[in-house]
Amino acid sequence: MSLALAVDFGGTKVEAALVDDAGVVLPGSRFRSPTGPTASSEALAAAVDEVVTAALAARPDGVELLGAGIGSAGPINVAAGRISPLNVAAWREYPLLDQVRSHLPGLPAVLRMDGLCITLAEHWVGAAQGESNVMGMIVSTGVGGGLILNGLTVPGPTGNAGHIGHVEVGGFDVRCKCGGIGCVEAVASGPRTVEWAQQQGFAGTTGEDIATAYAAGDPIAIAAVRRAGRAIGQAIGSTTAVDDLDVVAIGGGFSHVTPDLFTIIRETIQERAAFPFVAKVRVVPSGLSGDGPLIGAAALIHQPELLG
């Protein structure tokens, strides 16, 4: 057995753990600390140091440590090892790779976007095992993803490939904070779906409220889920038109709002009937547990042959 240190840095928390070469988190090695949009740069750096130190201390004697894989919310700058997460204002071009590397002198460290790590995890232990043209996708507070094409990860020259949340969808005249018009994140994320439902008179305030109301047959909740599912299906359709995907595995909190969400997504894609290569894309629920982002970060070390 060998281990990789895995780090997952996001807008609400940072986690670290040791992950073995079978894609299993070592029991007792997983630690988390809050991040958040208002944290200072020093507090964020301390949070990273804390979880990394704790995870490394959990290494059993005599077990080899291969290196560190780091997944981060985007945008990132992969060549420079720096991150600028949209929802973590204190860090712009922050040298996270160097900070983590300083804990493992002499060992390799690899930084990629969290969406790419999720995709590696789906490919390794999740819903996309054996597939060569995959998008791993998250529908939650935001909408994001990552790409494996022709059997290799596609980080892009800056490390930001896979930002499906900022693919526009037709028929929605909503401005996105990125500057786009009708980006799927601005239409179909959990919070934006709740916001739309509220504008129609919905009294709830969370994605869970939408889920409960949907299950009870509330017409606004049904319309809201339908709207989100259509937008997600449209974005997958566009992305498949460009990248000829075989499978999209979707996780994230709002993806669980109802299993019907997947039916709506699939029906929307089937409307692209003129293109069998678009209609062929399979959309499936994520096969990952809550360990997925860490397992994917560890894959950056355990499966270097997949790094494009």
- Give the footprint of its own copies on this chain (CB under 8 A): 75, 86, 132-133, 147, 149-150, 152, 154-174, 177-183, 234-235, 237-239, 241-246, 271-278, 280, 308
What long-range pairs does 171-180 form, CB within 8 A, spacing at least 24? 171/234, 172/231
Alpha carbon distance, N-terminus to C-terminus of the chain: 25
Q: Which is nearer to its own copies, 37 or 170 (CB)?
A: 170
CB of 117 to its own copies, least distance (A): 16
CB of 83 to its own copies, least distance (A): 12
Q: Which is nearer to its own copies, 173 or 305 (CB)?
A: 173
CB of 300 to its own copies, least distance (A): 16
Q: Which is nearer to its own copies, 109 or 135 (CB)?
A: 135
Q: Which is nearer to its own copies, 67 or 159 (CB)?
A: 159
Is the four-CA dihedral 39, 33, 10, 155 of positive or negative sign? positive
* Strands annotated E in the chain: 2-9, 13-20, 31-34, 64-72, 76-77, 82-83, 109-113, 134-139, 143-149, 152-153, 247-251, 282-285
CB of 57 to its own copies, least distance (A): 36
CB of 228 to its own copies, least distance (A): 15
- The secondary structure of 111-157 as a DSSP string is EEEHHHHHHHHHHHHSTTTT-SSEEEEEESSSEEEEEEETTEE---T
Q: Which is nearer to its own copies, 85 or 204 (CB)?
A: 85
